[in-house]
Copies of this chain bind each other. A is one copy, B any other.
Amino acid sequence: MTHYAAPLRDMQFVLLELAGLEQLARLPGCEDATPDTVEAILDEAARFAGEVLSPLNRSGDQEGVRLDGDVVTMPAGFAHAYQQFAGNGWNGIGCEADFGGQGMPKLVVAAVQEMWKSANVSFSLCPLLTTGAIEALTLCGSAELKAAFLPKMVSGEWTGTMNLTEPQAGSDLAAVRTRAEPQADGSFRVFGQKIFITYGEHDMTDNIVHLVLARTPNAPEGVKGLSLFIVPKFLVNPDGSLGARNDVRCVSVEHKLGIHASPTCVMAYGDGGGAVGYLCGEENQGLGYMFIMMNAARYAVGLEGVALAERAYQHALNYAKERVQGPEIGSRTGAKVTIIHHPDVRRMLMMMKSQTEAMRAVAYVTAAALDAARCHPDAGERKRSQAFAELMIPIVKGWSTEMAQDVSSLGVQVHGGMGFIEETGAAQHLRDARITTIYEGTTGIQANDLIGRKIARDGGATIRAVIGLMQGLDGQLAEQAGDDFAAIRRALSGGAQALSQAVDAIVATFASDARSASVGAVPMLKLFGIVAGGWQMARAALAAQRHLVTGEGEATFLQAKIVTARFYADHVLSQAGGLAYTVVNGAPGALALSEEQF
């Protein structure tokens, strides 16, 4: 068993030193997010995550969810924990105040959500999906629909789901077949089957509000014929009380590799005559609404990568500090030591620590940009921030989740044979993390978004500006004394150069030969993620050094940050050149074989 303790010190450091929390709190609409208030929120969230959610993580994994008829029973303790979660007001922390939310900036919400995800990722998916449904409703719902559903969704009294894919569709929403037939009263009857519906059914709340993509009669083919509908599990009476049970049922729950405590449902709509649905927004605009929400959803899944890496790291670190095995290298006494003394175990822990910190920094900086894009008084700054955030979203999603595979696998490895035994709990993090590179758009989909919409579309302008910021650190890094900064400077310079070469290749290739460019998409995503992480770690090292010089802050933490940035430079940033080589040269070998030659 493992206890989760939120990494408050690192979170605060990233919020203040890298993501600019103080500056953010000066923006209109973000005034409540003062550093003091945020510190109090994070302390409280850390307590809830550690004391309520974390203890249910392992038991939830072992127990899983149970389907009897169309009733899904959650693992023991989940319903009670959820009621506390909603009762404490955590559900609406990032929602607009109009319907009861606290309107905290995305930066603050990111730090809080990281804790839920580290403590119990299965649990965290329920409020995550509710948040997505709230955003959709806020975005495109009529005043009536908002009044009927939003207050209870913001409070967490009801949860929400997103119903997109179907068995034949997968990532290709053009293939969605669920249909919605208009009724005389303005409502619709929805018919069809949806798969992979997270928290499609559960026993934690009285009602569940499903958002469903479906086609109206005579809608255009493909993605241009999708409309968005609200289909509540129970209809809502005019007075707000619950009415009749709607014709939507959970007919199956998946048996999955991980996130066992999160019900992944097959939902059947209309088997008994049609599920009552309400059109949300305009007809045939469903995919557009989904796209607007997609950034938030992808960002949130990227944060799962950060969070699971953190959890795996804590688990492995605790073990490495306790497990005694073998003597230290070069020991004359042969005295046994804890395994953290063994260089390869240290190397693994530093890989986990440095990559997790780099991912967190990239994610929080991106959240701050999303806030600036919304709140900054200067239109140019809003536009630049939006462009930066959109560039980074596929990195937060794609890179953090890919790295979470490596980090959680290293967590198993640190445990040796015990890591393979389920009771140890290390393997759960690996199993839980495995979905994150898949849902909300696979890594391949993120990477194609990156090279197409985010890089090639503006001719590389946005990413080249970011590379300019990276290179702009060179002078400051050169001014610092010591080997650590020399190593960081050298690796960041090499990384930025490699990234620049790869960007040139992608921009040059994309328009003329999109297939070839696409072969380099995932290597490009990893390259950009690694270099962006190195950039943030270099900024972190510089900030730490500033504080060390002035004597503010905790010296051992600040020194560790510099060492961690240096480790990252030598062990992770060093991969940049090889990835750039693949982006530039890798297409012909990937595309030459005929199908039969595989």
Q: Is A245 interfacial (CB-CB < 8 Å)? A: no
Task: Tell me the residues in window 430-489 of chain A with beta carbons closer than 8 Å to chain B beta carbons.
Answer: 430-431, 434-435, 437-439, 442-444, 447-448, 483-484, 487
Complexed CA–CA distance, A222 and B326 (Å): 11
Q: Give the interface segment out of A183-191, A545-553, A559-567.
A: A559-567
Complexed CA–CA distance, A567 and B589 (Å): 4
Q: Give the interface segment out of A32-40, A132-140, A381-389, A416-424.
A: A416-424
B560 touches A588 (CB 8 A): no
Complexed CA–CA distance, A255 and B425 (Å): 11
B589 touches A570 (CB 8 A): yes
Complexed CA–CA distance, A405 and B592 (Å): 26
Q: Is A254 interfacial (CB-CB < 8 Å)? A: yes
B434 touches A349 (CB 8 A): no
Write the nearest CB–CB distance from A518 to chain B, whole angstroms: 4
Q: Is A594 interfacial (CB-CB < 8 Å)? A: yes
Of the candidates B256, B323, B346, B438, the one whose C-beta lies within 8 Å of that of A590 is B346
A590 touches B578 (CB 8 A): no
Q: Give the interface segment out of A84-92, A334-342, A500-508.
A: A334-342
Residue numbers in B under 8 Å from A334 (CB-CB): 174, 222
Contact with B along A145-166 (1 / 0, CB 8 A): 0000000000000000000010
Of the candidates B484, B563, B589, the one whose C-beta lies within 8 Å of that of A566 is B589
A256 touches B421 (CB 8 A): yes
How many subunits of this chain does the assembly comprise?
Answer: 2
Residue numbers in B under 8 Å from A325 (CB-CB): 169-172, 175
Complexed CA–CA distance, A585 and B423 (Å): 38
Write the nearest CB–CB distance from A397 to chain B, whole angstroms: 14
A421 touches B566 (CB 8 A): no
Residue numbers in B under 8 Å from A443 (CB-CB): 413
Residue numbers in B under 8 Å from A592 (CB-CB): 563, 566
Complexed CA–CA distance, A297 and B43 (Å): 51
Residue numbers in B under 8 Å from A434 (CB-CB): 409, 412, 420, 427, 430
Write the nearest CB–CB distance from A173 to chain B, whole angstroms: 10
Residue of B nearest to A419 (CB): B438
Task: Tell me the residues in window 580-597 of chain A with beta carbons closer than 8 Å to chain B beta carbons.
Answer: 581-582, 585-597
B598 touches A340 (CB 8 A): yes
A416 touches B170 (CB 8 A): yes
Q: Is A3 interfacial (CB-CB < 8 Å)? A: no
Residue numbers in B under 8 Å from A258 (CB-CB): 420
Residue numbers in B under 8 Å from A246 (CB-CB): none
Q: Is A329 interfacial (CB-CB < 8 Å)? A: yes
Most buried by B among A417, A434, A516, A521: A417
A581 touches B570 (CB 8 A): yes
Complexed CA–CA distance, A559 and B592 (Å): 10
B412 touches A255 (CB 8 A): no
B483 touches A329 (CB 8 A): no
Known A329-B514, A336-B172; contact A343-B422, beta-carbon cutoff 8 A? no
Of the candidates B430, B437, B557, B595, the one whose C-beta lies within 8 Å of that of A413 is B437
Residue numbers in B under 8 Å from A571 (CB-CB): 523, 582, 586, 589-590
A342 touches B413 (CB 8 A): no
Q: Is A26 interfacial (CB-CB < 8 Å)? A: no
A417 touches B321 (CB 8 A): no
B420 touches A350 (CB 8 A): no
Complexed CA–CA distance, A443 and B347 (Å): 13
Residue numbers in B under 8 Å from A484 (CB-CB): 588-589
Of the candidates B256, B330, B427, the one whose C-beta lies within 8 Å of that of A257 is B427
Of the candidates B256, B581, B582, B590, the one whose C-beta lies within 8 Å of that of A422 is B256
Write the nearest CB–CB distance from A575 to chain B, whole angstroms: 4
Q: Is A219 interfacial (CB-CB < 8 Å)? A: no
Contact with B along A299-335 (1 / 0, CB 8 A): 0000000000000000001000101011001100010
> What 9 new A-B contacts, CB under 8 Å, besides A255-B423, A340-B595, A343-B591?
A172-B326, A330-B514, A344-B521, A413-B438, A557-B597, A563-B592, A574-B578, A574-B581, A576-B578
Sample of 27 A–B contacts (CB below 8 Å): A170-B416, A171-B416, A172-B326, A172-B336, A254-B420, A257-B412, A257-B427, A257-B430, A340-B595, A342-B518, A343-B587, A343-B591, A346-B519, A347-B590, A350-B593, A353-B598, A413-B437, A413-B443, A417-B438, A487-B588, A556-B594, A563-B592, A570-B585, A574-B578, A574-B585, A575-B578, A578-B578
Q: Which residues of A line the B interface, CB within 8 A?
A: 165, 169-172, 174-175, 195-196, 222, 254-258, 317, 321, 323, 325-326, 329-330, 334, 336, 338, 340, 342-350, 353, 405, 409, 412-413, 416-417, 419-423, 427, 430-431, 434-435, 437-439, 442-444, 447-448, 483-484, 487, 514-516, 518-519, 521-523, 556-557, 559-560, 563-564, 566-571, 574-579, 581-582, 585-598
Nearest 5 CB-CB pairings of A with B: A567-B589, A344-B444, A343-B518, A560-B597, A172-B326
